A and B are shown apart, each in its own frame.
Chain A
Amino acid sequence: MTNTEIYDKLKAAFGEKIGEWHEQSGGEYMKRMSSYADITDTSYIRDVCLYLRDEAELEFDSLLLLSSVDNGDKTLSVTYHLESKSKKHFIALKVTVPIDNAIVPSITDVWSHANWQEREAWDMMGIKFLNHPDMRRILLDEDWVGHPLRKDYKHPEFYRGMKVPY
């Protein structure tokens, strides 16, 4: 299936919860791998993922990447790149949350790969994932202040009494 067909199928199943289709300009690869669908209601992301995984026709068996983006306008986004290794098709989804209330449902129980990626998104971007089994920082230490990949991040002068270089 092409990703626009999958989008239509999602639209039929979830209606208004699925937002616009953002088609990327450029070559065939850009259209196939990088176009994404907005999910307007953030709380539905897990249901959408479950549907994509369990529907026999779609069978999305793997999550390729879960990435977080600071859009620079007081919102954060989480992008899900999904792939079906058996059916060889692909789709990307995106949810957007406000920066002061960045909470997204976890999809760790859908694809276990999401576990560490969500921890990284929390660590680096400060997005909390609801019902995540182990919501700790992963790359930085537990007592680090702030989330470095946010655009308004200022690095601390001192860390545990040591001067932070640069």
Chain B
Amino acid sequence: MTEVLERKMQTMPVPVKVVPAEQIDPKRIRTEEMVLNIGPQHPSTHGVLRLEAVLDGELVIDVVPFLGYLHRCFEKHSEAMTYPQVIPYVDRMDYLAPMQGEHGYALAVERMMGIEVPEKVEFIRVLFGELQRIASHLVAVGTFGLDTGAFTPFLYCFRDREDILEMFEKTCGARLLYNYIWVGGLSHDLHPDVISMCRTFVKKSRATHKEINELLTFNKIFVERTANIGILKPDVAINGGASGPMLRGSGVKWDLRRDDPYSIYDRFEFDIPVGTGMLGTVGDCFDRHWVRMCEWEQSLNIIEQILEKYPQSDKTDVQKAVPKRIKPGAGEIYSRVETARGELGYYLVSKDGINPWRCKVRSPAFVNLSLLPIISRGYLMADLIIILGSVDIVLGEVDR
């Protein structure tokens, strides 16, 4: 060993002569900020997003996100569509949680028209909404692991997500973009196998949850890289409009399923996990990750309650309440649901026509991303990628 070292020393270049600090003239040293471009196509940006980071050495001074690479002007398209025709477009916004996006849209139109949906339909909507929340959080947790350098949890997450997609596929034939939840009903009845599949899934998912916690959440490297990084203070979060795990990670107990209940969420018992600064400071990246992990568990609790209460003998046609002609009267509505990413709001203006006069979406990922510059200032360049991962953006929804 010593021989190798000695040989290495001999081949190394002559060390530079070190100038004592007092002899350096500070006026002759020049430092400057550097602008580093990340993206738009980059594995760490979770889609087509371009970030311009202003760096001082390794320190991030400012970040400017540039959006619009996936912009399809959904809002303009929807003005030319009839109300039910908008639903496939809604799918393509948040493509990791389209069930919840559809639910929000259907709910908005139903509230405008005063449609009462059969109880069975509500059960299926909530069941699929919660399964979708787990599927979305699985992707979020898995890719967040990738960002921190852990590859294995990602594979475990996608393995479990597959089970959820299979249930959706059995029921409506599609795996990613469903067009399943219609205004006033559903496109298909629940497939008879899904209930038993759900039972096995819940058991399996609880085991995966435990495994991911051991593998990732309490892994020392992961904790070191995420705790005390990207701190979002609760007052800044509320003022900036953050929602979902981003807001709850900062310790604000706010969940629309509890605070502005829609559908039949008021019938189920579940906790609202918030960030507590367990291993760092309240509102850091670890807290956001932890909130997602806890929500996963809470969604499993809700699913178990649905499986208990689901009216299996109920043979109501799921399209019973679907109106023949969807034409809300003149007026406007702001309607919102809690998706995996936060508060998804639809602002619909109707002028008594068969297509919406204006359809504006409050997309949670767009709003949460707008807080990225605030929470990444003063951290290292390598942390910026982790902070971005902890926000959990879906560019389809950011750009619409």
Contact = CB atoms under 8 A, between A and B. Distances in A.
Given A29-B111, A124-B73, A139-B399, 8 more contacts: A33-B333, A33-B335, A64-B334, A112-B374, A113-B241, A116-B366, A139-B68, A139-B71
A141 to B, nearest CB: 7
A62 B238 contact: yes
Interface of A: 24-27, 29-30, 33-34, 36, 61-65, 67-70, 72, 79, 81, 85, 88, 92, 111-113, 115-116, 124, 138-141, 148-149
B239 A79 contact: no
A34 B331 contact: yes
18 contacts: A26-B111, A30-B331, A30-B333, A33-B334, A34-B333, A64-B336, A65-B334, A65-B347, A69-B358, A79-B347, A81-B345, A81-B347, A112-B236, A113-B241, A139-B67, A141-B68, A148-B76, A149-B75
B315 to A, nearest CB: 28
B349 interface: yes
Contact of A113 (B114, B239, B329, B360): B239
B201 interface: no
B262 to A, nearest CB: 9
Contacts of A30: 111-112, 331, 333
A64 B343 contact: yes
Contact of B239 (A65, A112, A148): A112
B362 interface: yes
Given A30-B111, A33-B335, A148-B76, A112 B71 contact: no
B89 to A, nearest CB: 15
Interface of B is mostly: mixed
Contact of B367 (A34, A116, A149): A116
Interface in B79-113: 111-112
B328 to A, nearest CB: 9
A138 B67 contact: yes
A156 B59 CA distance: 42
B254 interface: yes
Interface in B104-126: 111-112, 114
A69 B366 contact: no
Nearest to A144: B68
Contacts of B236: 112
B333 A24 contact: yes
Contacts of B22: none
Interface of B: 67-68, 71, 73, 75-76, 111-112, 114, 236, 238-241, 252, 254, 259, 329, 331-336, 343, 345, 347, 349, 351, 357-358, 360, 362, 366-367, 370, 374, 399-400
B241 A70 contact: no
B334 A81 contact: yes
Given A61-B239, A70-B358, A115-B370, A26 B75 contact: no
Contacts of A26: 111-112, 114, 331, 333
Contacts of B114: 26-27
A64 B343 CA distance: 9
A65 B241 CA distance: 9
Nearest to B253: A85
A10 B360 CA distance: 26
A149 B334 contact: no
Kindly name the residue among A81, A92, A139 whose own CB sees the greatest number of chain B CB atoms within 10 A.
A139
Contacts of B343: 64
A44 to B, nearest CB: 21
Contacts of B374: 112
A58 B121 CA distance: 38
Contacts of A81: 334, 345, 347
B240 A113 contact: yes
A148 B79 CA distance: 12
B358 A64 contact: no
B263 to A, nearest CB: 12
Nearest to B70: A139
A25 B331 contact: yes
A24 B332 contact: yes
A53 to B, nearest CB: 9
B61 to A, nearest CB: 16
